[in-house]
Amino acid sequence: MDKDCRLTIFVLAGGKSTRMGTDKAFLELEGRTLLTRTLELAASLGSPAKIVGDPQKFSRFGQVVEDIYHDHGPLGGIQAALASTATELNLIVAVDLPFLRPEFLQYLISRARETSAVVTVPRAAGGLQPLCAVYRSAFLPISERSLRAGKNKIDALFAEVETRVIDEQEIRNAGFGEGIFRNVNTPDDWNKAQAEL
């Protein structure tokens, strides 16, 4: 298969979960942890998936990529993923998005394959969604430069590269609601997610 068509999926599971008070990856929803649910979601897409996080915590669940730049938030995870990838396209998905649907991820990947953009990212719920986006390997040096400068904000880097934004209207036209991007950061978020799912 052409390198431009192949894809690796990375599940970002390295967050500190400070607002939740417990590791979000191991919260259980319908008898399955958020990590298991996200890995199953990734498996349904038919591409290899890796976990970005602490090998001691996650190695029993699959192949793990450890941050190179520790304590730099999600950008550190994206950099680690891109530094380890063998594919041009890389889907980054946060572990705490329990409402994500495989159909949307397939849509996102198909849009990324149609463009030469370095980043293909949805805009919904009032902002860009960089933790549910496709990154080409060319984003690696941009992320490294930012991390070395002590700048951890992801969205700010999109102005430096060709970025394909999938806006809210396009998301709706494709049959999806912005609620798929809801994450769980606090016990209140978690209680609401459990009630809905």
The domains found in the chain, sorted by start residue, are: 7-196 (3.90.550.10)
Give the CA distances from residue 29 to residues 7, 51, 187, in Å, rounded to whole numbers and listed in that order.
28, 19, 13
For the chain, the average pLDDT equals 92
How far apart, in whole angstroms, are the C-alpha atoms of residue 158 and residue 21? 31
pLDDT band at 1 (very low <50, low <70, confident <90, very high): very low
Q: Is the pLDDT of residue 189 over 90?
A: no
Question: What's the predicted TM-score (pTM) here?
Answer: 0.94
Decide if pLDDT at 18 tops 70. no
Task: Judge whether 74 and 131 are in contact, CB under 8 Å.
Answer: yes
CA 63 to chain centre: 16
Cα–Cα distance for residue pair 64/89, rounded to 1 Å? 18
Confidence bin at 4 (pLDDT 50/70/90): low
Q: Which tokens go with 155?
A: 């969205």
- Segment (H or E) for 65: strand 64-65
Predicted confidence band at 177 (pLDDT cuts at 50, 70, 90)? Answer: very high
pLDDT-above-90 percentage for the chain: 78
pLDDT band for 3, please (50, 70, 90 cuts): low
